[in-house]
Amino acid sequence: MTTHFTPGHRYTQSEYALKQIVELFGNLLYSLDEHQLYHTYRVVLRFCELENIDYRVLQYLNTGKLPFEEFSDEWLFDGEV
């Protein structure tokens, strides 16, 4: 199993793939909204709903946190709080 690293975090291959997808769609939705392309925004959001990732994408937009960036003991390195 491949593990991907970002500062302070280790992702499994499936977690990393989900992280990339959520970040991509979150950034796309942000850009569409910024450019006032509301119909396209709704279409993309509907696709996210159908793929059952809409709540993760909306959480990313609202908090800036990607999946699995919530507090997890296994991610804490020695000395981190």
Q: Which residue has the higher pLDDT, 42 or 65?
A: 42
The domain limits of the chain are 3-70
Within 13 Å and on the Cβ side, how many CA atoms surround 55? 1
Per-residue pLDDT tens for 20-62?
999 999 999 999 999 999 999 999 999 999 999 999 998 888 8
pLDDT beyond 90 at 13: no
Residue 67's pLDDT is 57
pTM of this prediction? 0.70
60 close to 66: Cβ distance less than 8 angstroms = yes
Rounded (10°) CA dihedral 22, 18, 6, 28: -20
